[in-house]
Amino acid sequence: MAHPDIGEGIDRVDARVKVSGRAAYPTDQDHPDLAHAVLVQSTVAAGRVTALDTAAAEAAPGVLAVITHENAPELHEAPDRRATLPPPPLRGDRIVHHGQTVAVVVAETFEQATEGARLVRAAYERTDPVVDIDHPGAEHVRDPFGSDGGTGDVAAALAAAPVRVEQTYRTAVNTNNPMGPFATVASWDGDQLTVHDCTQGPSRTRADLAATLKAPQDTIRVLAPYLGGGFGSGLRTWSHTVLAAVAARRVGRPVKLVLTRKQMFTSVGHRPDTRQTLKIGATRDGRITALDHEAWQTLSMGDVNTETVARVSLSGYASPAVSARDVQVRVNVPSPGSMRAPGDGQGNFALECALDELAHELGMDPLELRLRNYAGEHPVTGQRWSSNDLRECYRVGAEKFGWSRRDPAPRSMRRGRTLVGYGMAGTSFFFYQSSCAARITVDRDGGAVVASAGMDLGTGTYTVMTQLASELLALPLGRVRMVMGDSSLPQAPSAGGSGLTGAMGSAIHAASRHLIRSFLDLVRDDPGSPLRGAGTGDVRVEDGRIVREDDGRGESYEEILTRHRLDELTAEGSAEAPGEDQPVVPTGPYAAKFAEVHVDPDLGVIRVARLVTAAHCGRILNEKTARSQLVGGTVGGIGMALLEETVTEPHTGRIANGTFGDYLIAVNADIPELDVHFVGGPDPTNPTGTKGCGELGIPGTPAAIANAVFHATGTRVRHLPITIEDVL
């Protein structure tokens, strides 16, 4: 029987701690002897450092150390070159991007460290940077993820198709821009390192630091109970985290390193830009017969970054011939990283705009075209989905939006002089779930503490895991406390890929089963227990008690512990990632997006007037936090569609708009009421039935807006962001 609080939109369990200012973020960490570190960054994008003059900085008041590539300890690359760990900092004189760290100044105070950093003088031998994805001299990395694939003879199917669409689409570089500047506080106690960090994965950051510093993992502890926003930027262990640990060891004191807003643009990743070519062949009644998707994206020099863009076309629509390929282009830009809906956000834009162009070519309703080509099974493997309610998403979304009122002719709908456009897109997000472990302890007072190293970056993990444990143990919500964000707890994956809820929920599910079994083992031969001799299949939990299924007799956790003179009982559980030998394809969430835009024909101003999302996210543990995730992602999608673009100067490689005053982010005035509806049921891939929904808000949103802009104006814009100039 479902717990009454599951699915309800209960308030976040960590809300009061946050709004009262009691939540301890990395920047809040303090020590009596805390020193401060400030980065010195390169002013060229390509070349090498020929000289570093640190004398003035070292002589400045309060400066404790200046660390450069000339005196830094050896820092190591991870043996497997994991995408979570960029190349180590300060390993040589080569410069590969503007804003690369060339020195770290450590001082008694932040102000003294800042002044010391200003006094460091660097001389460079400059070379011309490569910053453009189309640069003829750039290095290309083909099939970088081993994910290129497809089925059928695409070339032959395209040649034979009665109707063909071939277009190229571009998406801009976006920067994650969390509100909280990233910070690290590192301290050593002998060989034991403790790090407070803005990370989305304490277990991963511990492993990365161990690899970089050549230290045993059990000598490192990473703490991140709260994060001031991440959107994927906390999924890599950036150089400032490593350098904070290096600086703390150098000066023998705890060190705090906080990035400036300008440094956030060069130091914690970005969504790489893309150039994508889509070729679609179809019959005149709208059946897709061929789909070819090639995606190019930028990558920094010497780095690896996993961002599969074209794969959205391998599973999006039914077609007997499909091909998808990714290419990375090395350029002199900072290391990229995951930004909410990595790869899928860009790939979906190109695919769904191409589908809209095909619908226009056929004179067919864009919704009908998608329904006609719904993939009832995986187009490449032929396997059935674990669950897929995309059809229901289309139906509910269209009904709530009022899609039937759409006049199909471009420029046909107006409100006064304002042009009105309706656009839509289908979307999904890839399935991701890693191995995870959790521990549950129940004490003699009948309360439970649930612990796992994973962290809550603001998505509501504290809340939904508390709800889930409350259900599994049949305890009131107030009797369950969730402890997270500490690498010393049972290992957990990073909060990313919309996979933490499924992974941690499965681990807590296993731990709760093991805990019930441990209680039953305690009373197996206990003549005073009504549960004597019962197995796990003979009982259920209700009202904080374990009771027999047959006669309802049982006792509480407190009664068992008290009689056996135990203060507490603990059990651990783990969940493994689903194997590739599954009879079905584990699927992530699905959604249909419907957008209404208003365009001023004289000024070219584009406003999103309405946006409806109908989503299949499996079992919803908390409707309030789930809706919040889709709303937040949709806001990011509006920004991606109309506002956000990180501009790099072509001749210098410098980011030209690296401030909140110049980088445009959606604000309240840009956002209409966002309507979200959940459809479908639980997914059987994990015992909790969840799919995750944190990133589903972005894919589909830019395409729906772009398609609505075409419907409003008759002008097809094939790049993001769409600007005033594009529609004038």
Residue type, 238: W
Task: Report the C-alpha gap between 201 and 222 in whole angstroms.
Answer: 9
Q: Are 653 and 332 contacting, i.e. CB atoms less than 8 angstroms apart? A: yes
Q: Which strand (E) or helix (H) includes residue 58?
A: helix 55-59
What are the beta bridge partners of residue 449?
441, 481
Task: Report the C-alpha gap between 329 and 342 in whole angstroms.
Answer: 17
Which value, in Å, is the radius of gyration of the alpha carbons in the chain? 27
User: Quick one: DSSP state of residue 655?
Assistant: B
**CA atoms within a 13 Å half-sphere pointing along the CA-CB vector of 281:** 18
Q: Are 526 and 566 contacting, i.e. CB atoms less than 8 angstroms apart? A: no
Name the token pair of 168: 């190229």
**Percent helix, strand and coil across the chain, each to the nearest 5:** 25, 25, 45
What are the beta bridge partners of residue 328?
141, 297
Q: Are 243 and 101 contacting, i.e. CB atoms less than 8 angstroms apart? A: yes
Say how many Å lie between the first and final Cα of the chain, rounded.
58
Q: Among 418, 345, 360, which residue's Cα sits nearest to residue 702?
A: 345
Residue type, 115: E
Please list, in sequence order, all residues whose beta carbon lies within 8 angstroms of the beta carbon of residue 725, skipping any fewer than 6 positions away. Answer: 604
Q: Are 647 and 715 contacting, i.e. CB atoms less than 8 angstroms apart? A: no
User: Quick one: DSSP state of residue 338?
Assistant: -
Q: Are 392 and 569 contacting, i.e. CB atoms less than 8 angstroms apart? A: no
Task: Report the C-alpha gap between 235 and 432 in whole angstroms.
Answer: 14
From the candidates 352, 471, 645, 695, which is the catalytic residue? 695
Task: Report the C-alpha gap between 257 and 710 in whole angstroms.
Answer: 47
Please list, in sequence order, all residues whose beta carbon lies within 8 angstroms of the beta carbon of residue 57, skipping any fewer than 6 positions away. Answer: 63, 66, 105, 116, 117, 119, 120
Q: Are 554 and 531 contacting, i.e. CB atoms less than 8 angstroms apart? A: yes
For the question of residue 695 being annotated catalytic, the response is yes
Q: Are 537 and 415 contacting, i.e. CB atoms less than 8 angstroms apart? A: no
Q: Are 158 and 290 contacting, i.e. CB atoms less than 8 angstroms apart? A: yes
Q: Are 613 and 659 contacting, i.e. CB atoms less than 8 angstroms apart? A: no
CB neighbours (10 Å) of residue 87?
A: 16
Q: Among 89, 100, 91, 93, which residue's Cα sits nearest to residue 124?
A: 93
Task: Report the C-alpha gap between 348 and 345 in whole angstroms.
Answer: 6
Task: Report the C-alpha gap between 671 and 328 in whole angstroms.
Answer: 34
Name the token pair of 647: 């501009």
Q: Say whether the peptide bond before residue 687 is cis (omega within 30 degrees of 0).
A: no
User: Quick one: DSSP state of residue 597?
Assistant: E
Task: Report the C-alpha gap between 90 and 400 in whole angstroms.
Answer: 55
Name the token pair of 386: 């674990």
- CA 490, 494, 497, 498 dihedral sign is positive
Please list, in sequence order, all residues whose beta carbon lies within 8 angstroms of the beta carbon of residue 308, skipping any fewer than 6 positions away. Answer: 145, 147, 326, 343, 347
Task: Report the C-alpha gap between 705 and 95 in whole angstroms.
Answer: 39
Tokens 């060339």 belong to 102
Which residues are identified as catalytic?
695
